[in-house]
């Protein structure tokens, strides 16, 4: 039933934009959503807030890799979750459950909801997989039960579950500040190809933030410069501005990340960077052939376990 993940990701490259991403059936009792992954074109940590959260400044970009989230209303009075990945929780620890429960509680919904979650986005990879699933459920429940919440109202509720969820509701290209929940839409990323490679290791986001040392030697990304490069649709500037303050921490623990970046550059990437807290790395290409060749090399050499060629996904401005 579950297609080879790499085959699947090749097949999705040409598919629709975010605003086309869900279809309702006639009786309004089920909905199928695409939950898109993100990468970070720049990621800066500015400091630590009094509550212990990190203050960030990040450029977020949706990519055409997605989980499928199907929601079915029933009269069980319960929220149930099924997923193709046996190691994921299916109870209240799954972010899709949390998202549904939040709206069910607030709106005193007595019906039941069956959530079928088909994971294709690598887990614990720095691609906001769980957050985007939760975002899809918030949008889906809003729609199925005609709750009438605006995007801003959904984003405010999403932030209660996870800092990346408001961005996942919005999608496209955005500047995320605060703890990630203060969002500003920016110009869409110009057309290009991303080779996305995840080595066969998992990285704990907490470990990376706990081991981040911010001092005078820290190389902070030029986030404003990145926004300008995107506005100007200047791929060369985007590539040269790629920067992630968390990269050094994760690379120290997992040098394979550096190797993957190096191999992507050798294969013709204009630039390469770790996404989020890692370990996923992406390389930017302007030619699809070169991107596919690069993906082939990574697979053949076994540097990455999951390897995809994908494109930016933009949404209505």
Residue 294 in tokens: 């690069």
Alpha helices in the chain (DSSP H): 5-11, 95-106, 129-144, 151-161, 165-170, 205-210, 223-231, 235-241, 247-253, 256-266, 288-301
**Nearest distance, CB of residue 4 and ligand ATP, angstroms:** 20
Q: Find the part of the chain contacting ligand ATP (CB under 6 A) among 5-13, 88-96, 186-194, 295-303.
A: 88-96
Q: Tell me the backbone φ, ψ of residue 283, rounded to 5 degrees.
A: -120, 145
Which of 39, 41, 56, 88 touches ligand ATP by CB under 6 A? 88
B/e letters for 211-235, b = 16+ CB within 10 Å, e = fewer, are ebeeeeeeeebebeebbbbbeeeeb
B/e letters for 87-99, b = 16+ CB within 10 Å, e = fewer, are ebebeeebbbbbb
Question: In terms of CB distance, is 96 or 109 closer to ligand ATP?
Answer: 96
Which of 62, 94, 304, 306 touches ligand ATP by CB under 6 A? 94
Which of 95, 174, 196, 273 touches ligand ATP by CB under 6 A? 95
Residue 291 in tokens: 């991107």
Which of 166, 171, 221, 276 touches ligand ATP by CB under 6 A? 276
Alpha-carbon distance values, 2 to 123, 274, 312 (Å): 16, 27, 24
Active site residues: 38, 164
Q: Which of positions 194-253 make contact with ligand ATP (CB under 6 A)?
A: 205
130 contacts ligand ATP (rule: CB under 6 A): yes
281 contacts ligand ATP (rule: CB under 6 A): no
Distance CA 43, CA 233 (A): 19
Question: In terms of CB distance, is 25 or 211 closer to ligand ATP?
Answer: 211
Closest CA to 171 of 136, 201, 216, 206: 136
Count of residues of this chain found to bind ligand ATP when the rule CB under 6 A is applied: 21
**Nearest distance, CB of residue 104 and ligand ATP, angstroms:** 17
Q: Residues 302, 197: contact at Cβ < 8 Å? A: no
45 contacts ligand ATP (rule: CB under 6 A): no
**Alpha-carbon torsion, ordered 222, 227, 232, 237, to 10 deg:** 30
Question: In terms of CB distance, is 254 or 290 closer to ligand ATP?
Answer: 254
35 contacts ligand ATP (rule: CB under 6 A): no
**Nearest distance, CB of residue 236 and ligand ATP, angstroms:** 27
Question: In terms of CB distance, is 18 or 35 closer to ligand ATP?
Answer: 35
Binding site for ligand ATP (CB under 6 A): 88-89, 93-96, 117, 123-131, 133, 164, 205, 276-277
């Amino acid at each position: 039933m579950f297609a080879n993940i790499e085959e699947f990701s090749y097949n999705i490259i040409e598919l629709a934009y975010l605003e086309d991403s869900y279809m309702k059936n006639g009786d309004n009792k089920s909905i199928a959503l695409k939950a898109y992954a993100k990468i970070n074109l720049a990621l800066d940590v500015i400091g630590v807030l009094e509550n212990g959260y990190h203050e960030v400044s990040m450029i977020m970009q949706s990519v055409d890799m997605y989980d499928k989230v199907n929601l079915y209303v029933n009269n069980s009075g319960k929220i149930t979750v099924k997923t193709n990945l046996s190691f994921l929780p299916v109870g209240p620890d799954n972010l899709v459950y949390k998202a549904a429960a939040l709206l069910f509680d607030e709106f005193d919904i007595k019906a039941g909801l069956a959530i079928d979650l088909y994971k294709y986005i690598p887990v614990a990879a720095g691609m906001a997989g769980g957050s985007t699933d939760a975002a899809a459920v918030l949008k889906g429940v809003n729609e199925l039960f005609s709750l009438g919440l605006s995007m801003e109202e959904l984003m405010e509720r999403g932030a209660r579950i996870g800092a990346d969820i408001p961005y996942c509701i919005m999608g496209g290209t955005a500047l995320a500040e605060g703890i990630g929940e203060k969002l500003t839409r920016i110009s869409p990323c110009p057309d290009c190809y991303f080779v996305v490679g995840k080595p066969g290791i998992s990285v704990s986001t907490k470990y990376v933030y706990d081991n981040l040392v911010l001092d005078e030697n820290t190389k902070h990304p030029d986030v404003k410069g990145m926004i300008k490069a995107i506005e100007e649709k200047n791929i060369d500037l985007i590539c040269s501005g790629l920067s992630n303050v968390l990269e050094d921490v994760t690379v120290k623990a997992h040098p394979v990340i550096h190797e993957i970046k190096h191999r992507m550059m050798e294969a013709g990437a204009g630039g390469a960077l770790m996404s989020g807290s890692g370990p996923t790395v992406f390389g930017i290409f302007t030619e699809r052939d070169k991107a596919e060749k690069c993906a082939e090399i990574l697979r053949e050499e076994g540097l990455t376990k999951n390897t995809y060629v994908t494109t930016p996904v933009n949404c209505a401005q």
